[in-house]
């Protein structure tokens, strides 16, 4: 029954690039997760354990990045020269600049989201400094590598109904980065809209969605 669905945040220690995300999730969810549940992991923490981080001071900022970042709203991770440069380093300087220009033209004719569509997959995934939990709040964090492979391995290891990697924040943005076959990511995103993950002192980058199978099939 849908009314039985429950979100259970799971406390952990601070996870770092020395950790294996699969082993850590298994350790901290042992005895808490069942065959009808879905495991959800914050995308920034998955990326951190993969070493997908960079310190702003290690980036060489181009003039193109300094120019382009001015056209991003202040609340965005790409609004700083460092955030924009980190994107250009992985997606290509001119690809990002062209996508930004296309996005501007698209808005004129009533089409939104073209920058994020054409700028590369990392355009929507990069977290600028302060975008994740300490001590990595001084780093820029890229999106996770091979998210579909990560969730498949999580599901197999835990024996649960499904697994997702989620990008959720306090601005009511909830997006699924990786999801196992048979799990309806749009339903998971709605359940996570109030951001049950804790990126500060809570240290709860893992959430178990109890009885999700019944919720999805009910």
Residues 121 and 160 in one domain: no
Q: Choose one of 140, 166, 191: the last residue of a domain.
A: 140
For residues 62-69, average pLDDT: 96
- The residue segments making up the domain with residue 120 are 53-140
pLDDT band of residue 128 (cuts 50, 70, 90) is confident
Q: Which residues pair with 179 in a beta bridge?
A: 164
What is the C-alpha to C-alpha distance for residues 32 and 126, in angstroms, rounded to an integer?
31
The overall average pLDDT reported for the chain is 90
pTM of the model: 0.86
CA atoms of 160 and 26, how far apart (whole Å): 11
CATH assignment at residue 191: 3.30.1330.100
pLDDT at 102 exceeding the cut of 70: yes
Q: Which of 140, 169, 188 is the last residue of a domain?
A: 140
- DSSP code of residue 163: E
- Within a domain: residue 169? yes
Closest CA to 205 of 144, 129, 145: 144
Pair (111, 159) in one structural domain: no
């Amino acid at each position: 029954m849908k009314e039985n669905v429950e979100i259970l945040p799971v406390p952990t220690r601070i996870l770092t690039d020395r950790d294996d995300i699969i082993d850590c999730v298994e350790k901290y969810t042992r005895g808490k997760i069942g065959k009808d549940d879905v495991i959800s992991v914050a995308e920034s923490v998955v990326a951190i354990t993969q070493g997908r981080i960079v310190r702003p001071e290690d980036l060489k900022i181009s003039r193109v990045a300094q120019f382009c970042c001015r056209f991003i709203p202040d609340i965005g991770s790409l609004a700083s020269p460092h955030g924009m440069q980190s994107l250009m380093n992985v997606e290509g300087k001119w690809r990002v600049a062209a996508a930004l220009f296309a996005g501007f033209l698209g808005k004129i004719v009533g089409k939104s989201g073209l920058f994020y569509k054409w700028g590369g997959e990392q355009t929507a995934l990069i977290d600028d400094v302060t975008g994740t939990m300490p001590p990595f709040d001084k780093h820029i964090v890229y999106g996770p590598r091979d998210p579909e492979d990560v969730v498949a391995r999580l599901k197999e290891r835990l024996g649960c109904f499904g697994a997702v990697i989620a990008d959720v924040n306090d601005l009511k943005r909830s997006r699924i980065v990786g999801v196992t076959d048979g799990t309806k990511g749009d339903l998971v995103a709605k359940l996570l809209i109030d951001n049950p993950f804790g990126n500060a002192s809570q240290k709860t980058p893992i959430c178990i969605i109890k009885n999700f199978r019944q919720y999805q099939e009910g």
